[in-house]
Chain A
Amino acid sequence: MEVTKRPLQEDETDRQELSLPQKKYYRQRAHSNPIADHDFDYPSCPEAYDWSTLYPDVTNAKSNIYNKRVEMLDIGCGYGGLLVTLSPMFPDSMILGMEIRVKVSQYVIERIKALRANQPNCYNNIACIRTNAIKYLPNFFKKGQIKKMFFLYPDPHFKKSKHKWRIINDTTLSEYAYVLAEEALVYTVTDVKDLHEWMVQHFSEHGLFKRVQDDDLKDDPVVDKLYESSEEGKKVTRNNGDKFLAVFMRIKDSDL
C-alpha cells in the first residue's frame, strides 16, 4: 500500500484550526538574546540525533520520507505557518522549523501533533525544534545537506548595537553556506527595508551566494507562498506593510 498525502482544502483548513492549540496561550517576549548561553538540548553531532522522535515516518518503509534526512529549514519559524503550507507541496521532503522561543516552539509542536491526529498520513514530513539556529546547525546537519532555507520576517533588531543579533551576518552566513548544498536556495522576506538591504548586502558580499534574479523566480512555486503563509506575513498584510523578497543561491567558491 502506498501512503499518500492530500493537501487540505481551504474550508477544511479552517475547520481543522478550531481544534488546534490557541496562539494566545503561547505568547512570549518578542526577542530572546540569540548569543547568550541557554541550555538547549542538542546532539553533539548529526549522527547522534534520533530523527524518528520528530518524524516517526523516517523508519516507516512505506512512507515517502523513509530513511531520508531533513532538507528544508525554516529558521525562526515562529508559529509555523510556512511549515504547514510547505508540507503538502513537498511530500517527499523532510522540513524542519527551528525556533528559539520555548512557548512558540511548543505551540508549533502541538499544532503539528494536532494536524497529524486530524489528518492521518499528512504532515508527517514537518517538525519543529526549539534551538538557537545561530549556534547549533552543525550539530544537527551535515555539510551540504540542506536544499532550501527560509528566513521569513526575521527579527529586525533596529538598533545598531543590536545588529550583531541579526540572524544574517558574516559569521552565520558561513555556517549556512556549510550546511547548504551547492545550488541550494535561501529565501528571505522582510517588511523592513533596512533589513532587506542588510541581507542583500551580506549575502552578495559573502562570496558563496549569488542573488537569484526575479525573472528566474517566476516558475518557483514556493515564492508565492512566502508572503502570507506565516503568521508574521499575515500581520504585515493586515497592517498594509511592505514586503521585500530576496532569494540567493549557494554557489561554489570561485577561488578554488
Chain B
Amino acid sequence: MTFCLAVSEKAVVVSSIDVDKCYVYSLDSGNVKNLTESLGEAYKNIPINNRDLQKACASFSADGKLFAYNPNKGKLLSIWNTTDWTLVENKTLAKHATNIVFTPKTNVIIVGDKKGDVYAFEELPVRILGHSSMILDICISDNEKYIVTCDNDEKVRVSHYPNGKNIVHYMMGHEAYVSGICLLNNFILSGSGDSTLRLWDFDNGDLLDKLTLQTAIQSVIEIGDLAAIQLYNSKEVHIVKTEKKENKWNIKNIKTIQLENNVLDLAVYSNQLWILTGKSVHKYTIDANNEIILKIEDVEMSHTFETLSNLVKSFVCMENTNLMVFLYNKMIDKQKRIEQNVNNGNPPVLQHPKRLKTA
C-alpha cells in the first residue's frame, strides 16, 4: 500500500508515499493542509525516493491529539500535534517503517520496520522485539500487556509488552506473508497472502477457525466486534464477525461491500469504517446491533467527499515501489517454482494441504 488513510474525530488524513503528500482534511472547517509541505526546506531539498519499496503508514493516538506518519524521504517518523497541526518532531528511523501504531492508553508510538524490528518511541527509541523478516502489522492489547505482530514469513506472534523478548505464542499455519492482524475480544484475527483469515485463541494460541476468501488478503481492521477485510487488488471489503456455534468459535462473513474502484486502504474511528479507493473516500457506520453497515450519503458530508476525492485523484501509484504488490508477486513466483518442482518429479517432502490461488 503506497496509500494510506487515517481518521480521528476531527480529521481525515489521506497520504500517498509515492507523490509524498500527506493531506489532512479538517472535518470541522473543511480546510486541507499538506503536512509534507511543512517539513522544512532541508526536507524539500532531498530528492524523492522512488527506488525503495515503501508502505505508507499513518496513525492517530487513541485520544486523537497526536498523529504520526512516514514521509517518502529520509526514513522519518513525523509526529504532529493535531490541535493546531504543528510539527512536534521528526524522528529518524533505523529502517523504513512498515507500520505505525500508538499504544491505546499511554500514547507511545510503536513502529515496525522492513528489517523486522519493532521500536517504541518514548524519549529514546527502545527496541521492543525483532522478527527475522519484515513486520507487516502490529496490535497492542487494550491493557498494554501484550503486543501482537505479524511478518512476511507467515508468522503471527504474541509477545509480552514492553518486554517483547519474551514470546507468549507463535501462531503458525499461514502459508504466505501475513498482511494484517486485529484483536477481537479474546481472539486474534489474521489475514494472509494465502487468502485465508484465521481466528486464534489469544490465551493458548490455538487455531479456532479458518475462512478462505477469493484472493490474497491485504489488510484486516477491527471495528467494534466486527472486522473489515481488504483484499489484494479488489473492489470488495468483507465484514466478518466471530460467532459461537456448537461450542466452537467460527469466523462468519456477514457482508460484502462492493465499491466502484479498487480499495486502497481502510480506517476506523469509533463505529465508522472509512474506505479509500482509487477515486474517492467512503464512510460507513455500524449500527447498535453490530450487524448492518450503512453507507453514509449525508448531504452535509458532500463537501468532505468531494474534497477528499479531488485529493485522491491527484495521487499516483508506482507499482515497482509498492511493497504489497512486491510481496504478492513474490508469493506467486514461489508458488510457480514449487509447482514446477513438482512437475519435474521432485515432489516436496511435505504435503502442502492446499494449493494457493494464483489469480
Contact = CB atoms under 8 A, between A and B. Distances in A.
Given A41-B349, A43-B350, A256 B160 contact: yes
Contacts, number: 76
A39 B337 contact: yes
Contact of A42 (B130, B159, B338, B350): B350
Interface stretch (B73-81, B170-178, B244-252, B307-315): B170-178
B132 interface: yes
Interface in B153-172: 153-155, 159-160, 163-167, 169-170, 172
Contacts of A170: 127, 130, 165
Interface string A221-256: 000000000000000000000000000000001011
Interface string A101-124: 000000000000000000000000
Interface centre among A48, A173, A207, A256 (most CB of B within 10 A): A48
A145 to B, nearest CB: 12
B172 A207 contact: no
A39 B334 contact: yes
A157 to B, nearest CB: 16
A48 B350 contact: yes
B334 A135 contact: no
A188 to B, nearest CB: 19
Interface centre among B116, B127, B173, B348, by most chain A C-beta atoms within 10 angstroms, is B173
Nearest to A143: B169
Contact of B132 (A44, A45, A50, A135): A135
Interface stretch (A62-70, A86-94, A174-182): A174-182
Interface string A34-57: 010001011111101110010000
B133 interface: yes
Given A39-B338, A135-B153, A253-B160, A45 B173 contact: yes
Nearest to A171: B130
A48 B350 CA distance: 8
Contacts of B175: 44
B345 interface: no
B129 interface: yes
B232 to A, nearest CB: 20
Interface in B107-140: 116-117, 127, 129-133
Interface string A201-220: 00000111000000000000
B129 A174 contact: yes
Interface size class of A (residues with CB under 8 A): 20 to 34
Given A39-B338, A135-B133, A44 B165 contact: no
Contacts of A172: 132
A139 interface: yes
Contacts of B205: 143
A72 interface: no
Contacts of B174: 44
Interface in A125-139: 134-135, 138-139
Contacts of A49: 350
A177 B159 CA distance: 12
Contacts of A41: 348-350
A174 B167 contact: yes
Grouping DSSP codes into helix (H, G, I), strand (E, B) and loop, the B interface class, with mixed when no group exceeds half, is loop
Contacts of A53: 349
B167 A177 contact: yes
A72 to B, nearest CB: 20
A64 B117 CA distance: 42
A39 B160 CA distance: 31
B47 interface: no
A135 B130 CA distance: 12
Interface string B184-219: 000000000000000000000100000000000000
B130 A45 contact: no
Given A139-B172, A170-B165, A48 B130 contact: no
Interface in B313-359: 334, 337-338, 348-351, 353
Contact of A178 (B153, B170, B353): B170
A46 B205 CA distance: 13
Given A41-B349, A139-B172, A170-B127, A253 B166 contact: yes
Given A46-B172, A49-B350, A175 B167 contact: yes
Contacts of B170: 138, 143, 178
Contact of A174 (B130, B154, B173, B348): B130
B166 A138 contact: no
A154 B57 CA distance: 38
Contacts of B348: 41
Interface in A5-59: 35, 39, 41-46, 48-50, 53
B172 A177 contact: no
Nearest to B157: A138
B288 to A, nearest CB: 39
Contacts of A134: 132
Of the listed residues B132, B153, B173, B174, the one surrounded by the most CB atoms of chain A closer than 10 A to its CB is B132
6 contacts: A53-B349, A138-B172, A173-B165, A174-B129, A255-B163, A256-B160
Among all A-B residue pairs, the 6 with the closest Cβ atoms: A171-B130, A45-B172, A138-B170, A178-B167, A45-B173, A174-B165
